[in-house]
């Protein structure tokens, strides 16, 4: 990962993948494999739109966040709505959680509605570990994207995974805990993503007996 400076499309200090991309190593694969003791709220799960019962999106704990259209060939997709600049890899803060409760937030469901493919970018170090590294007051702080930027600016290493999402694919991820963003780098078509927040137990959307369950544990 690297920090961006003096780029007209990005906020100064925004964190982006440095590249090049490499296949997943056996060591990282083992690190990411969840166990039965892994907290459901901290899992990243891959899901399929065809498996989702719409009634699960209307539960009282669920908040619909709407849709966003991402242009093709964007290294990262999220923009600051006040000025249109991209913010890079970041933390969500919908639930306004402090350090002690950051791992208890709702997970975000994202579905790629197409027409283009897109990617989930997600980092291998959570914001609680990042705050412990860069903030003396970490135990009482409210973690923020600025803490991630300080971590990278100080020179600490961070690995980013890139997970391909074809139209109809999606994910459940603790985006309040794990640094993340979307990407359409190398994709020639735009894509629309739809988002929800909710407290879903693991395998809530696994209705298929043939595709199996895919997940990674908290980092």
Cα(97)–Cα(109) distance, integer angstroms? 19
Task: Look at residue 51 in the predicted model and tell me its pLDDT.
Answer: 86
H/E stretch holding 134 reads: helix 127-134
Task: Look at residue 161 in the predicted model and tell me its pLDDT.
Answer: 95
Inter-residue contact 104 to 42 (CB < 8 Å):
no
Strand ranges of the sheet holding 10-16, from the earlier edge strand across to the other edge: 2-3, 10-16, 86-88
Domains in the chain: ranges and CATH: 2-216 (2.60.120)
Per-residue pLDDT 10s for the chain (219 aa) are 999 999 999 999 999 999 899 999 999 889 889 998 999 999 999 999 988 989 999 999 999 999 999 999 999 999 999 999 999 999 999 999 999 999 999 999 999 999 999 999 999 999 999 999 999 999 999 999 999 999 999 999 999 999 999 999 999 999 999 999 999 999 999 999 999 999 999 999 876 544 444 555 544
Inter-residue contact 74 to 190 (CB < 8 Å):
no
**Residues contacting residue 10 through CB under 8 Å, at least 6 positions apart:** 4, 16, 85, 86, 87, 88
Task: Look at residue 210 in the predicted model and tell me its pLDDT.
Answer: 44
**Residues contacting residue 183 through CB under 8 Å, at least 6 positions apart:** 17, 74, 75, 76, 77, 118, 119, 120, 121, 162
Cα(183)–Cα(7) distance, integer angstroms? 18
Q: What is the 3-state secondary structure (H, E, C) of 34-45?
A: CCCCCCHHHCEE
């Amino acid at each position: 990962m690297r920090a961006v400076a003096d780029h007209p499309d990005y906020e100064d200090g925004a964190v982006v993948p440095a590249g090049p991309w490499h296949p997943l190593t056996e060591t990282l694969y083992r690190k990411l494999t969840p166990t039965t003791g892994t907290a459901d709220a901290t899992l990243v799960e891959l899901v399929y739109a065809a498996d989702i019962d719409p009634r699960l999106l209307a539960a009282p704990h669920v908040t619909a966040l709407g849709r966003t259209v991402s242009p093709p060939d964007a290294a990262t997709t999220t923009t600051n709505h006040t000025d249109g600049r991209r913010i890079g890899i970041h933390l969500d803060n919908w639930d306004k959680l402090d350090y002690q409760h950051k791992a208890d937030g709702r997970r975000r469901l994202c579905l790629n509605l197409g027409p283009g493919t897109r990617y989930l970018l997600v980092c291998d170090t959570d914001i609680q570990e990042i705050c412990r590294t860069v903030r003396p007051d970490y135990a009482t702080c409210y973690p923020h994207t600025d803490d991630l930027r300080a971590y990278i600016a100080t020179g600490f290493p961070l690995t980013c995974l890139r997970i391909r999402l074809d139209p109809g694919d999606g994910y459940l991820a603790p985006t309040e805990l794990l640094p993340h963003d979307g990407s359409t780098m190398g994709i020639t078509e735009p894509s629309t993503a739809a988002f929800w927040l909710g407290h879903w137990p693991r395998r809530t959307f696994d209705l298929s007996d043939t595709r199996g369950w895919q997940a990674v544990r908290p980092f």
